[in-house]
Amino acid sequence: MVTIGDVARAAGVSRSTVSYALSGNRPISLETRERISAAIRELGFTPNAGARALATSQTKVIGLLVQFFSDEFSPAMLQYVLPISDAARDAGYDILMVTEKDGPRALKRITDSNMVDGVILLNVAHDDPRVDPLRGSGKPGALVGLPRSTGGLDIFDLDFGEAARMIIDHLHALGHREITLISPHEHVISRGGAYAWRFRDAALERAARYGLRIHARYGEVQQPAVGAALNAVLDEWPSSTALVIHNDAMIAGLPSVLSARSVRVPEDLSVVGIFSEDFGRLFSLPYTAIETSPDKLGRAAVRALVERMQDPEAAGEPVVRFIAPELTDRGSTGPTPGTPL
């Protein structure tokens, strides 16, 4: 590995002179600076983050705070990490992913030590304990997920309420009058996963407006509980003609359960999910679904954060922006018997 001493020898200067040139702490003649720059290029030397931060007041690193919970499906959460990483790299930034359980402490550690220029929060809870420390850190922040308090931060999320209304409208138009709704695990609700109740409440309200009968229950996240819960739902409400699943683990486990029960989709049961196209491809899901748009959300958060880090005045006031839901019809819903086509 090339060191600062190698650069100093190649440029014919002392190590301290190279250090001063990198940090900008002392004036260096143009001729000496050019020799050092030429040596750096020739040797392929990469200054460490600390030296770069001293020279530019920037680390070119974005902190990404992710929380992985046992009651959520990790493959779904990872869909947000890749577009954030790709968008950051395209903008010239590295990602420091922090998964510490004590989110506020981790955030304080990376911001107080100037390890990052800005922070993105994933898995945001309604009363997320990381939000206030982020506001007080002096670092720009962007969130994927909607907290209770939104001031001072750029926030991006799917419009889960509109997504639920769109699904219920779709099923109502096909003549369905009895629907089963499976939500995320109950623990997601209890710890403040607002996306879960935003979808659930909107679905219940829309169904009530139409006079539809809707059965709502929480789902599971790990096998064999997933399979057992799906079978229990199908046994308990056999008169339901449509199944709406807002739970990644449950929708991933559904094909094998329906196959074992010889349930045909959509002839016997219409199915609608809420998941991304990539997730559906990963688990070979043939179901009509609302696109959760992790790519759009992750990239939007990075763009907003980069703009605010590079030019806070030009970035303007922080925004709360919802991605409009899109329903992709994959042929898993159909009219109930007797409904005109």
Please name the helix (run of DSSP H) or strand (run of DSSP E) that holds residue 283, with its range, or none: none
- pLDDT-derived band at 54 (thresholds 50, 70, 90) equals very low
Whether the pLDDT of residue 155 is over 90: the answer is yes
Quote the pTM value. 0.82
What are the tens digits of pLDDT across the range 231-269? 999 999 999 999 999 999 999 999 999 999 999 999 999
pLDDT at residue 24 in the model? 59
What are the tens digits of pLDDT across the range 4-52? 888 899 999 988 888 777 765 567 788 888 888 888 888 887 666 555 5
Would you state the structure tokens that stand for residue 245, as one six-digit string?
């699943």
Strands lying side by side in the sheet with 213-218: 213-218, 178-183, 242-245, 270-274, 288-290, 327-328
- pLDDT-derived band at 271 (thresholds 50, 70, 90) equals very high
pLDDT at residue 16 in the model? 80
pLDDT at residue 286 in the model? 97
State how far the Cα of 133 lies from the Cα of 118, in Å rounded to an integer: 13
What's the whole-number mean pLDDT along residues 314-332?
95
Strands 178-183 and 270-274: unpaired
- Angle 310-314-320 (CA atoms, 0-180°, nearest 5)? 95
State how far the Cα of 308 lies from the Cα of 211, in Å rounded to an integer: 47
- The secondary structure of 284-329, three-state, reads CCCCEEECCCHHHHHHHHHHHHHHHHHCHHHHCCCCEEEECCCEEC
pLDDT at residue 127 in the model? 96
pLDDT at residue 44 in the model? 82
